[in-house]
Structure 1
């Protein structure tokens, strides 16, 4: 159609009431105005008037009327087929939007330092997926600094990091904690002790990862030993957690890990508690205050429930 004042095409679809399309689909289904009206719970005259008005707006005859009912014209058949697809898509969009708003559908992007079977984050993700099967959970593993940047850039909904950082532009909540352990080769002289102190480790060569929690492990070692170990040696390797443990077993050096790492059951190493470590290593959830995702809130709720029940690794 042409807008007579502007001489430009108008978008007719924007002026057609949705109810007119729904009633037209009903008539096309029953091929009878009375039956369609009964199915919709409205008067036959209302349906008839709506369809006639639609035909006039379109400038197209959709139905051929006869004594027993109606028959779709060829133009009507094409119109109804395409409208039916559009109505189905609209209905799906409405239902999906409601499910997303209720946290029943959508996606959740989670940053982690590791997903070790049996650990707190692995159990958390498993429980979340069981309770929210309609949510696609995407996992990203990276160093704490990088994952926090991704939260700020809205590329992650939440990330779990070691420590209890206080960030002015992000929410932070302590979720779980783990004992900090030293990892020594199985042949190490201290292997049969109940634990080690930081003083015991003064002359050791430490190895840490470049990624994951590696930078935080590095800083923690420096904080504990820098004043007492003038020749402190910390080597960084761009390897995965399992490879780092294998390197400890082969004598490259020692390292420190959270207790969940013991779940990897690596051969050739000994895990010993650090006896003078003042408190367990905390792990926190970091998320943007602007993120109103119901899926995120559900994950935080489950994490809180698990944390209150005393779950750690």
Structure 2
């Protein structure tokens, strides 16, 4: 707290127009915070100078106004914070304890202010960006490389998860944007389709179908499937495509990550509908599905009505400019 001057203190904290204790009590369980917050800087300045006139000069407010604010603060708390000695003051034991808490609160407020201002900086701010695990090895790194060519200072908080979990984090304010599939359709979200990705039927390399290049999904009706767990977008797509092909898949294993499923297929434990791998995996054959049309749409989503910071606006504009060219 040493060295704090008037320009460091937010105007709201310098103001003496705080609610009285009875007024704040009507505002609910946070009443004391509402009552005390505007007065912390005033109290801290007087405590530091032990002189109302010098503190008022630092704060840029009339000395009588500051004096009245201190008296009202003591009345609201029901304790004496200062002992008066003519024109000077000294802290009481209660005042010393309160000063420690006030300075800590003001320091925390300044730190939080610095952080949120830094995150919103157009040139060096932060974007909290979520995406599917299957987009993490190749698609997202390529996107970030392209974006940072023109915005080298912008920072990213990257979150990999499945679609519904990312949507909940959007709603909670933990994410600014997310890439997901299927493209969500909820009234509280805005979503834009960016691209689509072909899905393949992945079978063990010694499977009876491994020599084929193309297959109708109905031909795999008798196979055991390995899939993602319920709630994952790719699982919903798999179930829907199998239904369209005229059968309900028999599930042998459920997992949380596409490459784990590929490993299960390579071990001969079933077949799977999966997007192409970043790097070909030995032990499997990947067949083009000719019917039904086996694709998954990839989209970007954000919370409707949320005010974007300049870095988020820039990255959102970049993603939308990649429609039809998102995937490598």
What TM-score, normalized by structure 2, do the two folds share?
0.59
Paired residues for 1:198-277 under 5 Å: 198=216, 201=219, 205=223, 207-209=225-227, 211=229, 212=232, 213-223=234-244, 225-226=245-246, 234-240=249-255, 241-259=258-276, 262-263=277-278, 265-274=280-289
1:312 to partner: Cα distance = 0.8
Other-structure match for 1:292: 306
CA-to-partner distance for each residue in 1:155-197, whole Å, 9 max, x for gaps? 997775544565677544213322222323334577577x314
Deviation at 1:301, TM superposition (A): 1.1
Gaps of 5+ in 2: 1-20, 23-30
For the pair shown, the structure with the greater C-alpha radius of gyration is 1
Structure 1 partner of 2:297: 282
* Structure 1 pair 41–154 and aligned structure 2 pair: CA distance change class (3 A): closer
Q: In structure 2, what is the equivalent of residue 180 of structure 1?
A: 199
Quote how far apart the aligned CAs of 1:269 are: 1.0
Deviation at 1:29, TM superposition (A): 1.4
Q: Kindly tell me the number of residue pairs found equivalent between the two proteins.
A: 285
**Cα separation, 2, equivalents of 1:251 and 1:210:** 17
8 A Cα contact 2:195 2:323, kept in partner? no
Which sits farther off after the overlay, 240-249 or 279-288? 279-288
CA distance in 2, matches of 1:189, 1:203: 14
Q: Separation in 2 of the partners of 1:18 and 1:294?
A: 28
Q: Which has the higher contact order (CA 8 A, sep 6+)?
A: 1
2:319 aligned residue (297, 304, 309): 304
Deviation at 1:268, TM superposition (A): 0.5
Q: Match for residue 6 of structure 1?
A: none
Distance 1:76 1:292 in 2: 42
> How has the CA–CA distance of structure 1 residues 242 and 302 changed in structure 2, closer, same or farther, with 3 Å as cutoff?
same
- Residue pair 1:109, 1:155 contacting (<8 A) in 2 also: no
The 5-angstrom pairing of residues 39-188 of structure 1 reads 39-42=58-61, 47=66, 50-51=69-70, 60=80, 62-65=82-85, 69-89=88-108, 112=132, 114-115=133-134, 117-120=136-139, 131-133=154-156, 139-141=160-162, 161-164=180-183, 171-187=190-206
Instruction: Give the gaps of 5 or more residues in structure 1.
Output: 4-10, 227-231
Change (3 A) 1:302 1:33: same
